[in-house]
Structure 1
């Protein structure tokens, strides 16, 4: 029986890649008069928030507070978009599972976006961001803080699913001892899931059907 489900945030619950690539393109052109490439963003994607910004824009400024401020200002012009049925699923099953988030994004970004989307953060017993730990995916120790909270409620690792979209999500969650389910909203990591015989779904309707057998 599964008692808790923890989600990755970016590209799992919300369409961050699609939204933020556009933000980064505009920021780079307007402020730094340069055209950043998709490959450059790909190489930085998934890194802890401050490392991500420095990798992209560190050649223009090493002032992380400045980079944060301009990134947030530009982000406000491009509202993030939930994946279809993501938060509806969580609302529907809030009395059956404990829901959490573990993400490499920053606390201020995640909470701001959830507020903009009018998502009740009380749906989640914990939203763990890059601000809560010194280690990050694919290091499995990233799950230690959130697991301590669940262990205090007598929930074992084998009673927990982690849902994510990337190889780093699978590697960290499986090594920590959680069940893992991939969610492939696009084809970016489908080959990885298939080659590794890693269970995955395409959307939240398929996710709901897959997890019903664990209720």
Structure 2
């Protein structure tokens, strides 16, 4: 029986790829007078926050504090957009499950975006960002901090499902001992899920069907 649901953040709960690619294009052009390519962003995508910025802009500056300030300034101009029904699902089932977020993004960015979207952050037992651990997905140890909190609530690994959109999400969660449910808002990782015979859904309506009505991991 599932008692806790942990989500990836970027491209699982919110449409970060679509939103932040636009942000990065603008920042690169206006600040560094450079045209960054989609391939370059793809190569950096999913890295821990600081490594992500250095991968994109390290050839122009190694000053991570300055890069952070610029990135946050530009991000504020392009508000992130939730995936349909994502936070409605969490609100609806807040009394049925413990919810958490584990992401490679910075906690301060996630909190700012959730506040912009007027999402109640108290819906989550923990919002764990890149600052919380020295390891990151696909290393399964990334889940140790949030699991220690869930364990205090007498929730075991086999009572937890991690929902994410990428191979790294699957590899880290399954190796740690959690159940995993993929979510494919687009076709990017569908071939991987299909090849590895990984359960996945297309949207949050289907998540409700799989977890609540079908009790897939029960």
- TM-score by length of structure 1 reads 0.99
Separation in structure 1 between the aligned mates of residue 207 and residue 154 of structure 2, nearest angstrom: 25
Separation in structure 2 between the aligned mates of residue 35 and residue 58 of structure 1, nearest angstrom: 14
Residue in structure 2 matched with residue 172 of structure 1 by the alignment:
172
Structure 1 residues 129-166: Cα deviation after superposition (integer angstroms, max 9, x where no partner): 00110000000000000000111111110000000000
Matches within 5 A, 1:180-191: 180-191=180-191
Give structure 1 regions of 4+ aligned residues with deviation exceeding 6 angstroms: none
Residue in structure 1 matched with residue 108 of structure 2 by the alignment:
108
Residue in structure 1 matched with residue 92 of structure 2 by the alignment:
92
Separation in structure 2 between the aligned mates of residue 203 and residue 153 of structure 1, nearest angstrom: 29
Which runs of 5 or more residues in structure 1 are unaligned?
Answer: none
Matches within 5 A, 1:19-34: 19-34=19-34
Separation in structure 2 between the aligned mates of residue 148 and residue 132 of structure 1, nearest angstrom: 13
Mapped pair 1:39 → 2:39:
yes
What SS does structure 2 have at the residue aligned with 1:114?
helix
- TM-score by length of structure 2 reads 0.98
Structure 1 residues 37-68: Cα deviation after superposition (integer angstroms, max 9, x where no partner): 00000000000000000000000000000000
Pairwise CA RMSD of aligned residues? 0.7
What SS does structure 1 have at the residue aligned with 2:101?
strand
Residue in structure 2 matched with residue 203 of structure 1 by the alignment:
203
Which runs of 5 or more residues in structure 2 are unaligned?
Answer: none
Residues matched between the structures, number? 215
